[in-house]
Structure 1
């Protein structure tokens, strides 16, 4: 029998994700911390069964596919005080009414940042060796290039520009430290001393674009960053430069980027695009200088367990009366995703 002294919790997400987020050992641990029905997952806050569960819920454990938490959901959940999100951004999840109620909100965005940074590191290392371009050439010609074709290839001293000291950006900067790269950073909220502590040379956006061989985007998708890489700024990247985007497609002017890539002046590693997915006729699917992946950099497969573990760890802290490790505050969303 569930312990009646434990707080009541309810899952709200796409139930397909639940077994990956909370495999049996984590689900068992969760049951020691809250009263929750592991077989009941809310998809619609207006459903009668959902409303009955929400009437007792103090904690909502959310994930991808959770309905918007607005006035209607709050009215059905008068005891709700905490939302633990087993995914990344809560920008479109938590409504203004929820913030006004003063809900405590936590997100697994830090855990989700880890595989994105790992993917980006791999992309940087492979781009520095021109692995993507040489693979296409090798497939077409089926002979090794001449040694003179490798003159501009290699990662020793490669100039890497990181745009955005977000959680992903900061983790990437950590991962870059063992390598002999020249690393630059643009982030308007990071001063020179902090940039140096992160292992990067601070630069304006325009300076970074001019100086970098490889540019990696890690800024949040907020109004201030919409189309931050427009046609003029893309033109600042040196000939033969590589753009890596594991953030959001909205940060880049899609027509301008397509023109640069079709013309062959730049190459790109794109895990995100705008629109997403691209239309079936987009030239980016077939260009040899574009490495296109279907939004896989974030947590997938067995990586989802890390997100569920974050929720369990937050519940442990909550039960011990400690501050949450990964809180989200309404003010944070003006400069973060």
Structure 2
């Protein structure tokens, strides 16, 4: 029987592995589960000799030496998102097959982005605040519809693709800035390719780029200044992509409506002007965090792992080593 070691705490295993999935794993694999402490000794014991290593948030970095030894695992299945801090590119180059649940998390992120867009367009936080203060209808806060608007995505990552699918019923004019997106793939997605400056002309802008040297500071103060009054800005990706002070100033001035789920330092220390601004929705990095999404993560990656072990099929969760540098 194929051996599987879950290098995660019991609490994390309960979080990312539904009871039915746990039963399936234990019927299909010879499973060892991690304990409360994941020190170097326990991690080495779990990884050494296992055919498959199951990881998630909280799993320590897996040393390349462990993953390239004679009795190293064939597969690392990450029931979470990015694998960049978990495994080195050298280990992948040496033959370790890596799978990530990023595509599953992307669905949760896509739903968050759609919800944030609709919430801000209809001015729901401001209307909620008004009625709690004893008010009623606010003519100056009449909301807008999403249908037929121009939506621009910065990046064509898995989260962007999830949002694209969810936006289909709204008949929006959808455009994307992504230097890695081919014309053929853009046509498949049904999007227009535009420049970064053209993105700033959209009614709604949503950020979907990974954390790379290229994306840090990608949207500076000049581009933020080019956004049209009333623009809805959603950032569920990486805070460093945007010029933070310029975004705060645009919010303070009331020029834009924004939903911010990521911050350069987390938890953040936010300015009073941001905390009191009625035109911003602040959330604690939870765009990809849902009950159903977390419970499904192990099943998502392990379904693909079993297919790969059977016949080499590369499912949606397979991490292409050649794409690691530009992935989330």
Q: Is residue 113–residue 167 contact of structure 1 (8 Å, CA) maintained in 2?
A: yes
Q: 1:64-94: per-residue Cα shift (whole Å, max 9, x none)?
A: 0111112353377733221011111111111
Shift of 1:188: 1.3
What TM-score does the superposition give when structure 2 sets the normalisation length?
A: 0.91
- Are 2:162 and 1:171 aligned? yes
- 3-state SS of paired residue (1:221): coil
> Which one of the candidate residues 55, 61, 74 is aligned to 1:68?
61
- Are 2:137 and 1:144 aligned? yes
Compared with structure 1, are the counterparts of its residues 141 and 183 closer, same or farther at alpha carbon in structure 2 (3 Å cutoff)?
Answer: farther
Q: Is residue 54–residue 76 contact of structure 1 (8 Å, CA) maintained in 2?
A: no
> Which one of the candidate residues 115, 121, 127 is aligned to 1:128?
121
- Are 2:270 and 1:277 aligned? no
Q: Is residue 33–residue 315 contact of structure 1 (8 Å, CA) maintained in 2?
A: no
Shift of 1:162: 1.2
- 3-state SS of paired residue (1:317): helix
- Are 2:12 and 1:17 aligned? yes
Q: Distance in 2 between matches of 1:76 and 1:227?
A: 40
- 3-state SS of paired residue (1:25): helix
- Are 2:229 and 1:229 aligned? no
Compared with structure 1, are the counterparts of its residues 77 and 300 closer, same or farther at alpha carbon in structure 2 (3 Å cutoff)?
Answer: farther
- Are 2:233 and 1:217 aligned? no
> Where does residue 298 of structure 1 map in the other structure?
288
Q: Distance in 1 between matches of 2:229 and 2:210?
A: 26
Shift of 1:154: 2.4
Q: Distance in 2 between matches of 1:117 and 1:173?
A: 8
> Where does residue 8 of structure 1 map in the other structure?
3
> Where does residue 3 of structure 1 map in the other structure?
none
Compared with structure 1, are the counterparts of its residues 41 and 76 closer, same or farther at alpha carbon in structure 2 (3 Å cutoff)?
Answer: farther
Shift of 1:201: 2.1
> Where does residue 36 of structure 1 map in the other structure?
31
> Which one of the candidate residues 227, 230, 241 is aligned to 1:240?
230
- Are 2:206 and 1:206 aligned? no
- Are 2:310 and 1:310 aligned? no
Q: Distance in 2 between matches of 1:177 and 1:109?
A: 22
> Which one of the candidate residues 94, 111, 117 is aligned to 1:101?
94
- 3-state SS of paired residue (1:32): helix
Q: Is residue 38–residue 60 contact of structure 2 (8 Å, CA) maintained in 1?
A: yes
Q: Distance in 2 between matches of 1:124 and 1:191?
A: 27
Q: Distance in 2 between matches of 1:80 and 1:144?
A: 62
> Which one of the candidate residues 321, 332, 336 is aligned to 2:327?
336
What's the RMSD between the two structures over aligned residues?
A: 2.2
> Where does residue 254 of structure 2 map in the other structure?
264
Compared with structure 1, are the counterparts of its residues 163 and 281 closer, same or farther at alpha carbon in structure 2 (3 Å cutoff)?
Answer: closer
- 3-state SS of paired residue (2:32): coil
Q: Is residue 217–residue 242 contact of structure 2 (8 Å, CA) maintained in 1?
A: yes
- Are 2:80 and 1:87 aligned? yes
Q: Distance in 1 between matches of 2:111 and 2:322?
A: 28
Q: Is residue 11–residue 42 contact of structure 1 (8 Å, CA) maintained in 2?
A: no
What TM-score does the superposition give when structure 1 sets the normalisation length?
A: 0.89
- 3-state SS of paired residue (2:297): helix
Q: Is residue 156–residue 178 contact of structure 2 (8 Å, CA) maintained in 1?
A: yes
Q: Distance in 2 between matches of 1:50 and 1:158?
A: 51
Point out where structure 1 has 5 or more consecutive residues left out of the alignment: 1-5
Superposition misfits of 4+ residues, deviation over 4 angstroms: 39-42
Q: Distance in 2 between matches of 1:112 and 1:298?
A: 5
- Are 2:181 and 1:186 aligned? no
Q: Distance in 1 between matches of 2:172 and 2:45?
A: 57
Name whichever of 53-62 and 169-178 sits farther off: 53-62
Q: Distance in 2 between matches of 1:41 and 1:23?
A: 19
